[in-house]
Amino acid sequence: MHNEKFYLVYTEITIQGLYMSCSHRDEQFYKDNINYIQIKNKIKESILKEGLKYPLCVYSDGTGKCRIDVGNQRFEAIREIENIKRIPCLVHCRIDQGNNPEGERIPRDYNLIKDRFFNGGIKRFEIDINNIIITPEENDAWDPDKQYTKGKSDFSANVKSKLKIKI
């Protein structure tokens, strides 16, 4: 294992120790998109009723904070729940960075991660030197673009309109 460039840790991170990565959605999307707000409220209700089903997938950035790669909507919902202070996370830690969180080391084994953390259902599983993307099988049920635009992404429509691409 001396050739490893990164490892995974399962731990709980404080809300202050996490920040959102909005790779394909700008900040405005999260502020006033009615579809997002409706889904966020459903996620919040689900968390209050059943708890957080899946850990957030985050990347330790070497500063003592973690960037959320998967789970931005759950994070936003949790921030509105008063009594939750720490969030279960699968953390991608690079060996060449300091300030990585401590916790239980988890092998990068698809079946182990699927069975232990995602109840046997993973839609997307990608882990490389800079990212951890593991999405639950039911992810589309919580995606406002897919729920309210029948699969057509607001992002792609927005990009196409900015680039003036016609289909």
At 105, phi and psi to the nearest 5?
-70, 135
Q: Cα Rg for the chain, rounded, in angstroms? A: 17
Q: What is the mean pLDDT of residues 121-150?
A: 82
Residue 32: what pLDDT? 77
Residue 34: what pLDDT? 87
Higher-pLDDT residue of 95, 1: 95
Which of 58-62, 75-79, 129-133, 157-161 shows the lowest mean pLDDT across its residues? 157-161
Task: Report pTM.
Answer: 0.81
**What's the angle, vertex CA 63, arms to CA 58 and CA 69, rounded to 5?**
15
In a domain, 82, yes or no: yes
Residue 17 C-beta-side C-alpha neighbours within 13 Å: 19
pLDDT bin (cut points 50, 70, 90) of residue 155 is: very low
In a domain, 21, yes or no: yes
Q: Is 16 exposed, middle or buried (0-12, 13-18, 19+ CB in 10 A)?
A: exposed
Structure token digits, residue 140 = 């589309």
In a domain, 141, yes or no: yes
Q: Give the CA distances from residue 112 to residues 4, 121, 127, 150, in Å, rounded to whole numbers and listed in that order.
A: 19, 11, 14, 33
Residue 38 has pLDDT above 80, yes or no: yes
How many domains does the chain fold into? 1
| Full domain range(s) for residue 152 | 6-163
Q: What is the mean pLDDT of residues 100-106?
A: 96
Which residue is listed with tokens 């049920």? 141
Q: What is the mean pLDDT of residues 123-142?
A: 88
At 132, phi and psi to the nearest 5?
-135, 110
In a domain, 1, yes or no: no
In a domain, 111, yes or no: yes
Distance CA 40, CA 80 (A): 10
Structure token digits, residue 159 = 């990009």
- For residue 108, the domain's CATH number is 3.90.1530.10
